[in-house]
Amino acid sequence: MSEKQPPRILIADDEPLYLKTTGQLLRKAGFDCVCVSHAGAAIEKLEAEPFDLILSDLNMPGNLKLELLHQGRSNWPHIPLIVVTGVPSMPSAIESIRLGITDYLLKPVKYEDLLASVRRALAIPSRVFQRSESITAREQSELAKRFPNIVGASAPLMEILDIVDRIAETDVNVLITGESGTGKEVVAQTIHEHSLRSKENFQIIDCTAIPESLFESVLFGHVKGAFTGAVNDQEGLLKLADKGTAFFDEIGELPAASQSKLLRAIQESRFTPVGKSQAVQIDTRFVCATNRKLESEVSAGRFRGDLYYRLGVIHIELPPLRDRGDDVVLLAEHFLKLTLKKSGRELQFAPETLESLREYSWPGNIRELKNVIERAVALTRGETIEKTELPESLLNPPANLQHDSSGVAEGSRDEAIENAEYQYLTALLEKHEGNISQAAQQAGLSRQGLHKLLNKHNISAADFRS
């Protein structure tokens, strides 16, 4: 973007009235707009002239297969793209978010919302949208130095650190997904620590811990006497996140009514505490995490699409530990060092122990690995951690957790993982006769984490108790 020139916006839409009024309104707001009525013309313009932003309709001539989105994102990845559509459809919405659009607005769109979205998109440095080429060894070591809390050197982790590095200082909202224990909270905290908001609060908001009936009061606060039991004025969690980062953990668990209240607060950057008449303005960055597949939740109608787009401007998917190669060893060494720091002892892994750690499939991911190392250190009497100090469940995992190359691969990878997880959980509960604490301990999960997984698979621990 040139400093003297106003930002240039390309608007592509086949509704003449919308095209004309949007162009006029944005010009009035100080932008330089070029309006075209079909995808082909938009692509020609992009080839010929520089732009800072694309506003694109979905249903317009030449865009049957979302050509403008595909070409726009692959040929001009540095130009943010906002979809504005009158005919929302779930597949196109999901495809849009996959391609990395900046926002998804539904017509009729309020002028203030459009303007806010345009300003937000233009405030994001273009490098955020540029896909990284493969990361060089030098860049790798620089990333490792910049993020010492995130241990690992595998290619998938390096890609994540590269994204974190590019987005941390911007104000974009981030959605972090991944299985339980993959490090979502660690990544969220790291984004905050490397942001311009690092001196302010990193406010964790655990969506599973807020009863639906208290959502507004906990999030937005309340005044004394607003409802029975409101004996004092209470500031809400969002106010505590003002100027800082609000981290919504387990956002996928948020009930529908709470989703709309949160969406409104995010869209307007303000909310009204319960019992008050005046709204409170906030300046907060939103980072969210979930181990659910939010896209499927949106398709199934359980999660609002508009909230999903608003939160997931940047989507970081953390790989499970089993897909991170030798990171297992690096993390094991890291947790060994951490554990020994407390005791002052000196210990090392036997080569066979490391081999077993490498071979295991880690359903509880990094949290499970951390627990296994702490347990092994506690059990080891000599100077070497032998394989025998590893839990039996790790050395002889249930058949469904072993890698069997002779088996016929059925279904998608996601289905296979879901099945394996289901089998693992039922075997685990059977072994511990429905005792959640013991089962969670073995799986390397928190009790809450295990409850969530059981809910996901509709498994009741009570069925395993005698």
Which residues does residue 55 pair with via DSSP β-bridges, in sequence order? 11, 82
Contact status, residue 121 vs residue 103, Cβ threshold 8 Å: yes
- In angstroms, rounded to a whole number, what is the distance separating the alpha carbons of residues 103 and 114? 10
CA 326 to chain centre: 24
Per the omega criterion (within 30 degrees of 0), is the bond before 16 cis?
A: no
Which residue, 285 or 370, is less far from ligand ATP as judged by CB?
Answer: 370
| 174/308 Cα distance (integer angstroms) | 10
If one asks whether residue 182 binds ligand ATP (CB under 6 A), the answer comes out as yes
CB 326 within 8 A of CB 153: yes
Residue 14 and residue 41 in contact, taking contact as beta carbons nearer than 8 Å: no
Q: Which is nearer to ligand ATP, 181 or 236 (CB)?
A: 181
Q: How far apart are CA 14 and CA 260, in angstroms?
A: 31
Q: Does residue number 153 form part of the binding site for ligand ATP (CB under 6 A)?
A: no
Residue nearest to ligand ATP (CB): 183
Rule CB under 6 A: is residue 14 a binding residue for ligand ATP? no
Instruction: Name which position in 192, 304, 310, 367 contacts ligand ATP (CB under 6 A).
Output: 367
Is the CB of 205 or the CB of 331 nearer to ligand ATP? Answer: 331
Residue reference for tokens 């307007």? 268
User: Which one among 185, 242, 317, 418 touches ligand ATP, defined by CB under 6 A?
Assistant: 185
Shortest separation between residue 367's beta carbon and ligand ATP, angstroms = 4
Q: Which of residues 255-314 bind ligand ATP (CB under 6 A)?
A: 289, 291
Give the per-residue contact string, 376-415, with ligand ATP (x = CB under 6 A; - = no): ----------------------------------------
Out of 217, 370, 440, 454, the only residue in the binding site for ligand ATP (CB under 6 A) is 370
Asked if 157 and 315 touch (Cβ cutoff 8 Å), the reply is: no
Out of 184, 197, 285, 322, which residue is the one contacting ligand ATP (CB under 6 A)? Answer: 184
- Give the binding-site size for ligand ATP (rule: CB under 6 A): 19
Phi, psi of 284 (to 5 degrees): -135, 145
* CA-based torsion, 350, 355, 360, 364: positive or negative: positive
Nearer to ligand ATP, 7 or 152 (CB): 152
Beta carbon of residue 149, minimum distance to ligand ATP (angstroms, whole number): 6
Q: Which residues bind ligand ATP (CB under 6 A)?
A: 150-152, 178, 180-186, 289, 291, 331, 334, 366-367, 370, 449
